[in-house]
Amino acid sequence: MASSVPVVGRSPHIQEKRQRRQAEILRAAMMAFRSRGYHATTLEDIADRLGVRKTALYHYFPDKDAILFACHQQSLSELSGHLAAARRKYAGATARLRHIILEHVRVMTDSGEESPLAFDIPALSSPLQQQVIEARDRYERSLRRIIAEGVRSGEFRPVDPKIAVFVLLGAINWIARWYQPRGSVDPAALGQQFADQLLGGMSCPPQP
């Protein structure tokens, strides 16, 4: 029977210390999950990156599933932040999407930093999976709305926003599969070309 996680310490100092540790665990987990996938990553893999034994992780998270869930929450929170920033800073659909694409590509190419998970929602247990799916769906619907607005305003030709979002997210999330931080591809150029290609794909009339 799993023991409950200890009650958080009362003093602010202890609480902050605890939150820092949880953030460290999530950063290590994110990197490990991105590198090898959830199932192929062991708790020992994560603990090694922190210089502790795997049993220490249970002091901060009830189980492995909860670590994955927290990683997803963090990723989706970050992506939603990009969305909000795009709305604040830009008016047109093209400009907003360009910002979102550039930001998303940037975090996918940051070297070893916490960055959005792109896989393994199915690895989550049912109740947690449902929450992450809902948050992901909200993000996708927001992207669809931007694209639909672009179609209405004439910035984009009449594409199906649902399919268009899948094209966009697929291209970007796939970066986790092939991008090497020390590889030959310049991250800034990558972002630019991704944005040009993905936006161009919605702007131009179809080729014969």
Partner DNA sequence: GCAAAATTTGAACGGTGATTCAAATTTTGC
Partner DNA sequence: GCAAAATTTGAATCACCGTTCAAATTTTGC
Residues engaged in binding a second copy (CB under 8 A) = 36-37, 39-40, 94, 98, 119-120, 122-123, 159-160, 162-164, 166-175, 177-178, 185, 189-190, 193-194, 196-208
Locate all alpha helices (DSSP H) within 154-182, ordered by sequence. Answer: 161-173, 175-178
- Which residue do the tokens 């992207």 mark? 143
Binding segment for DNA among 36-44, 91-99, 156-164, 184-192 (CB under 7 A)? 36-44
CA distance 77 to 101: 16
CB under 5 to 8 A by kind: which of a second copy, DNA, none does 7 bind? DNA
- Closest approach of a second copy to the CB of residue 161, in Å: 10
CA distance 195 to 200: 8
Q: 165-201 b/e with 16+ CB inside 10 Å = b? A: beebbebbeebbeeeeeeeeeebeebbeebbeebbeb
- Per CB under 7 A, does 91 bind DNA? no
- Closest approach of DNA to the CB of residue 65, in Å: 6
**Shorter beta-carbon distance to DNA: residue 52 or 133:** 52
- Per CB under 7 A, does 7 bind DNA? yes
- Per CB under 7 A, does 102 bind DNA? no
DSSP letter for 205, please.
Answer: P
Rg (CA), the chain: 19
Window 39-68: residues binding DNA (CB under 7 A): 41-44, 47, 51-56, 58-60, 62-65
- Closest approach of DNA to the CB of residue 69, in Å: 12
**Shorter beta-carbon distance to a second copy: residue 128 or 199:** 199
Q: Which residues bind DNA (CB under 7 A)?
A: 1-3, 6-11, 13-14, 17-18, 21, 41-44, 47, 51-56, 58-60, 62-65
